Amino acid sequence: MGDAMNINLPKRDRERWFFARFCAAAGLEPVEGSIEQPEEDPPDLRVQVRGHEGPTAFELVRLNDPDDLRAKKRGASGDQLFKASFAALDTSRSAALKSKFKNCAVTISFSGTEPDTARGNALTFLWRLLEELPAQHDGPVRLKLFGAPTALTSLWITHTPFESDGPRLQTMGCRANTRSTSGS
């Protein structure tokens, strides 16, 4: 099929093209005429490989899926936004939160679909909520009870045995419209 793939090829032909490139890179030698592509998935391909006993099944996956890459990038930017928002709080507010959640990890998730302005608004809400929560809260926070913005999908406060000078702030990967249902 050549070195350049035609993106308009039927799925089965694209799979064979990618498989041929994979075999060349991995040093695998398929037995000529042994490639089968079952109508039902999985696997995408079944082939006899020289030096291997019996047919080998291959399920092809896209490792650079645009949605997955976008979610990872949004997760990284969410973590930066979370920490920058805390750093931008008034000194008295950040000091109070540091003292209140001294040895805690505060973990949040964003929905993954919102713009940074919605995330910023969610963080404004979050700081007020953390100020209201009791210091001994440990576990998930039922955000729905507090009328949380949809951009904020989960909040966990975890008390740790490790000494620190304030909460450890972290974001988890984007979650699609899910909210924690237990805790306070």
Helix axes 66-87, 116-132, angle to 10 degrees: 50
Quick one: residue 119, left, alpha or beta (phi over 0 = left, psi -120 to 50 = alpha)? alpha
Average pLDDT over residues 86-90: 93
The mean pLDDT of 57-81, rounded to a whole number, is 68
Distance (Å, whole) CA 123 – CA 144: 15
Decide if 29 contacts 23 (C-beta within 8 A): yes
CA atoms in the 13 A half-sphere facing the CB of 67 = 6
User: Which residues are bridge partners to 158 per DSSP?
Assistant: 105
Residues ≥6 apart with Cβ < 8 Å to 98: 165, 166, 167
Q: What is the pLDDT of residues 99-124, one digit of tens each?
A: 999 889 999 988 877 788 888 899 99
Q: Which of 166, 169, 175 is nearest to 156 (CA)?
A: 169
Q: Does residue 127 carry a pLDDT above 90?
A: yes
Amino acid letter at 91?
Answer: T
Please say if the pLDDT value at position 183 is more than 50. no
Q: Which residues contact 55 (CB under 8 A, 6 or more apart)?
A: 34, 36, 46, 47, 48
Task: Between 100 and 177, name the one with better pLDDT.
Answer: 100
- The model's pTM is 0.55
By the 8 A CB rule, do 109 and 123 touch? no
pLDDT greater than 70 at residue 76: no
In whole angstroms, what is the distance from residue 56 CA to residue 134 CA? 57
The predicted pLDDT at position 6 comes to 67
Mean pLDDT of the chain: 82
> Beta partners for 108?
155, 171
Give φ, ψ of 105 to 5 degrees.
-105, 130
pLDDT of 133 higher than 90: yes
pLDDT of residue 177: 35
